[in-house]
Amino acid sequence: MLALAPMLAFGQPPPSLAELVRQFEQPEHFWIQIEVAKKIVAFHDPSILPKLEPWLRHDDRHLRANAGFLFAALGDRRGFDVVVAILNDRSDRCPGQGGIAPTRRSVSGDEDSACGKIPRSWSLQLQIASDRYYAAHVLGDLRDPRAVPILVPLLHEPVVDHIVPWSLSQIGDRAAIRPLIDMLADADPDMRVLSIYALETLRATEALPALRALLADLERIRFDRQISVAEAAAEAIAKIEGPSR
């Protein structure tokens, strides 16, 4: 309702389902399209899915994952399977979305290929990594427990590992707690803290002994507030234990 407040304040009704479907089919950016998909899901109307079936085969895997989210959230099993397939997909592809970092793919400008002109700033391996990372994120958005055994092995895969603790925390299945506790011993302080955040979200009381063991860990993370592992552990302990202790 808060998101609708600005429109309501000016007397404008929220968009209809038909308008949202139109917006989904004409995405400006993939991150806008996924938000539109979530609004469509709120209508709980799977009758719109046949019209959107071509998006399950879209060449751009970020947009395909968004369609997978929409189908899965409206009860169509194909959606979940599409997202998982992207996560496991390492095949060749054309440039897509996802903020691909520059690389020295070419030294003389754009390259001609079956995809047309390939920008010098594009890398196939980075594109694959970005597409797989986004698929792991979408599995978190779906909050489907079937994704837990798919995501847990990826805690040890550098390409996607940093998003996996968040996705597991969003799914909320306690089967993820033991693997996340194990990640508190990871060599990367970023992964230790990301796992701490996930265990905090899951209110994992089982993790308290392992979290207390990190209170002397002064390594700092490279993102967010750049806090130490010890600081993250202390904050998580306080939230898991709650104000009554």
Nearest-10 Cα torsion for 204, 209, 211, 216 = 170
Q: Is there a single domain that holds both residue 165 and residue 212?
A: yes
pTM: 0.88
Average pLDDT across the chain, whole number: 90
Q: Is there a single domain that holds both residue 240 and residue 158?
A: yes
pLDDT at 170: 98
Which percentage of the chain shows pLDDT scores above 90?
78
Q: Is there a single domain that holds both residue 127 and residue 157?
A: no
Domain span holding position 124: 13-97+117-142
Can you give the CATH number for the domain in which 188 is found?
Answer: 1.25.10.10
Determine, yes or no, domain membership for 156: yes
Q: Is the pLDDT of residue 147 over 60?
A: yes
pLDDT at 101: 42
Q: Is there a single domain that holds both residue 134 and residue 27?
A: yes
Q: What angle do CA 197, 202, 204 make, to 5 degrees?
A: 95
- Count of domains forming the chain: 2
Determine, yes or no, domain membership for 165: yes
Mean pLDDT within 71-86: 98
